[in-house]
Structures are given as C-alpha cells and as structure tokens.
Amino acid sequence: MANLQSPEEVSEFYHKIAEQHKIDLTIPARVVVARDTRASGARLLSCVIDGLKGAGVEYKDFGFLTTPQLHYLVRCFNTEGTPDAYGVPSEEGYYQKYGDAFKRALGGKKPSGALTVDCANGVGGPKLTQLIKYLPPAAEGLEIIVVNDDVIKPESLNVDVRCTCESVVAFTKPNLVRCGFREDQPAGSSIFEDRTQRSLLLLGWRRRSSCLLLQGREERLSTLRW
C-alpha cells in the first residue's frame, strides 16, 4: 500500500483487502497504541495518533509498554466478549495472566536461587518490576534482581549493554554448559543451563569488560571477543 502512486489506488487496494477478508468497513476501526522509552518515541507516537485522528479511528493510548504487552492487549480486545476471550485488556490483566501461568508452570514446586536481569535501561525495567509483584515472592525461593532500569534519561538506553561476542566457550564453573551468541543479536541477558541444579540461569553482560555478571557475581570467560 505504501508504494501505490495515488489516493485512488490506495482506496482501491484498501477495498480489495476488505472484500477478500470479509471486513465490514461500516464498523469503526479500533487501534491500541503504546511506545517504548526511546527519545524518538514521543514524536513517532504523535504522528501515529495524528494519522488515526485523520482517519476517524477510535484509538486508545496505553503509554509505555513492552512489545509483548501490546500484543496481549490487541488479542484481548479482538477476543473480548467471545468464547475465546483471552484476558482482561489492561496492563494489570497482563501481569495477572502472566503471573498465574508462571505459578501453574511451577506445578507446586518452589524455585530456588536468584535471577539477575539486565534491562538495558529500557521499558522492560519498570515493567519487570511490576510483574515481580505477581510472581512468587523472594521468601518462597525466587529472588529477581533488576539492574539497569533507568528510563528517566533516554540517552542511557543500551549504554554498556551491547555484546558482540560470537560464543562463550567455557566458564570457570564446570557445571555450566556452552552457549553461543549471535553477533547481530542485541545483548543484555541470555539464558544458560546449570546442569548441576537442573535450572536456567539468566546472565547479564556489559561492554568493555572481560567478565559476565552472573547472579550478582563475576565469572571469568575463557574466550570472549568484543
């Protein structure tokens, strides 16, 4: 649609899509929008909202959200009032559904240990802090430590949290298995399996360092390329 040459072509293409998918164009469109904490977000969101207003679209702005949270809201609104209703279309509804699913996945077992999450000073920081309130408390064995959650200064986003290492060959801890990184994959954290405890560990890493931060402790890497 973006490559069409005239408003008439856009309109024709638009109506073909509606006919193909049996979309009733008399029903007002509904759109949910949200943004992350990047400095460009405010202007981009303003442009989107101006376009929605110009098209006469009913929209709801949910402020700052993670991408999965926005996906959750879209599905909730699309299934609301049907037998397939997915959940409560709100940010709190997301936390509640996620927390309930996590507890069911535990199957009555109590997790143990600590989990350090490097949030790269992005929107995930405060959202994870909120989600923690719906998860089993630290007193029951699950301690989640949130680091790099400064969203006040947009320029702090991803500062010192990008990794370009291709692979982690070995750790000084013999019970940790090998895990590789893709060089084009943004860093911040990664999952490793602990064979001894049969659990998953989340590691955060920092640029300009030859160490990984593992559950609040430094573990020296045998090979690491920055």
Residues 6+ apart with CB under 8 A from 210: 220, 221, 224
Identify the pLDDT of residue 161. 62
Residue 49 CA to residue 46 CA, distance in Å, equals 5
Average pLDDT over residues 40-48: 93
* Statement: residue 184 has pLDDT above 70: no
Residue 147 CA to residue 154 CA, distance in Å, equals 16
- What pTM value is reported for the model? 0.65
pLDDT in tens, 18-41: 999 988 888 888 999 999 998 899
If we measure between CA atoms, which residue out of 176, 207, 206 comes closest to residue 192?
176
Residue 82 CA to residue 132 CA, distance in Å, equals 30
Average pLDDT over residues 213-217: 39
Average pLDDT over residues 204-209: 41
All structural domains of the chain with their residue ranges: 7-93, 110-220
Instruction: Please tell me which of 21-25, 54-58, 128-132, 218-222 the model is most confident about, judged by mean pLDDT.
Output: 128-132
Report the run of H or E that residue 41 belongs to, with start and end: helix 41-54
